[in-house]
Amino acid sequence: MLKKAVNEAKFTLTIEATGPLLIRSGHATISGPDMTPVRTYRNGHWQVYLPGSSLKGVIRSHLERVCRTLNPSAGVVCNPFLRMEGLEKKAQIENGRLICPDYPEVSCGEKFKVRSKKDRLIKIKGFQPMKQEELSNAQVYADSCPICRLFGSTFYVGRVSIRDAYVTSTEHTELRDGVGIDRLTSGAAQGAKFELEVVSSGTSFETEVYLRNFETWQLGMLMLAVQDLTDGLIRVGSGRSRGLGSVRGEAGEVTITHLGKVENKPSNEIWGLGKFIKGDDWYSRYGTWSDDVLTIDSAPKEERNGIREVSVFCNEALVELQRRAISAFVQRIESWQVPDAMTFEHLDFRKV
């Protein structure tokens, strides 16, 4: 994505089951992202773990709801399941621009696909797009919704990665009676009683969360997810309606690193991507903000480690970091400008 590495944040996240967690049966769920533990063979025995990709999915979908609450504008975050196909029937051409009512909600990945492909999904009677758009990394980043800027889309890998979470406590699992759900009536299906294996309450998992080339509000977005995990507001896994899936999360110290010597950066400032690339012509196309800085009064002193400057936030400094980062996130999302996305102004349509 970004050709240079400017900053990085990482922390350990502990997730404790505060109720039983269903172990994945292998059935697909229709209730959205899942964070069900699965089994793997590791260190000489079978153990359960929470896949990092599922954790990421659960946190992403929680944050999508948070963003929609903070800023109710249509399309402030995209709907990852909304495709372009079919919507073009309602589209119109006006002054060479394509106006499509539900366009803001379309998933970012799908928008980029439509923009960059000659073989477009957009087929409007009487009109044909003239050219294909060369999408630069900067353009994709700038035009992604805040969720996709952090978590990625089918077009771009995102800035956060979450490792698989392994059990750190003694692992306990138990069997529970399950009842099959009839897909038509949503009632219990006859004769479909079976046993469910669950991870017992009290089991702890641990994972690492990495954030690269981040804007400070993105750090805040993750900190808010951590806070909501701590408050037990994020339930996970299938079987939520059976009272399964309650967890509590906690972040350890947060390590923030930037690369190389940076002139005039006080130790108590955390610079985001926007501040690092400020004034750089090429990078100005990333759609970041030049005032991308958090000032942390109780910040620890930066320590030099090779080419890196490292600050480790814990205790009081960690609390202040979380508070200021979350406030930057809230401000950013509340004022997020949804582009005049009813139009594909970059497409040049001609009459055929």
**159, exposed or middle or buried, with CB in 10 Å at 0-12, 13-18, 19+?**
buried
| Interface with Zn ion: number of residues (CB under 5 A) | 4
Is the distance from CB of 234 to CB of 58 less than 8 angstroms?
yes
Closest separation in Å from C-beta 79 to Zn ion: 8
Segment contacting Zn ion (CB under 5 A): 27-35, 83-91, 138-146, 303-311? 138-146
Output 58 or 321, the one with its CB closest to Zn ion: 58
Amino acid at 68: R
Residue 341 lies near Zn ion (rule: CB under 5 A): no
Cβ nearer to Zn ion, comparing 58 with 78: 78
From CA 106, how far away is CA 87, in angstroms rounded?
9
Give CA angle at 284 (257, 320), nearest 5°.
35
Q: Does 145 bind Zn ion (CB under 5 A)?
A: yes
The piece of 88-96, 106-114, 115-123, 186-194 that touches Zn ion (CB under 5 A) is 106-114
160 forms part of the interface with Zn ion (CB under 5 A)? no
> How would you label 26-38 residue by residue, b for 16+ Cβ within 10 Å and e otherwise?
eeeeeeebbbbbe
Q: Which is nearer to Zn ion, 77 or 317 (CB)?
A: 77
Q: Are 251 and 321 in contact (CB under 8 A)?
A: no
Which stretch in 133-141, 147-155, 180-188, 326-334 sits in contact with Zn ion by CB under 5 A? 147-155
Asked if 325 contacts 223 with a C-beta cutoff of 8 angstroms, the reply is yes
Q: 């379309």: which residue's tokens?
A: 106
| Residue 108 found at the interface with Zn ion (CB under 5 A) | yes
Site for Zn ion in 69-98 (CB under 5 A): 78
| Span near Zn ion by CB under 5 A; candidates 51-59, 108-116, 157-165, 267-275 | 108-116
Residues forming the site for Zn ion (CB under 5 A): 78, 108, 145, 148
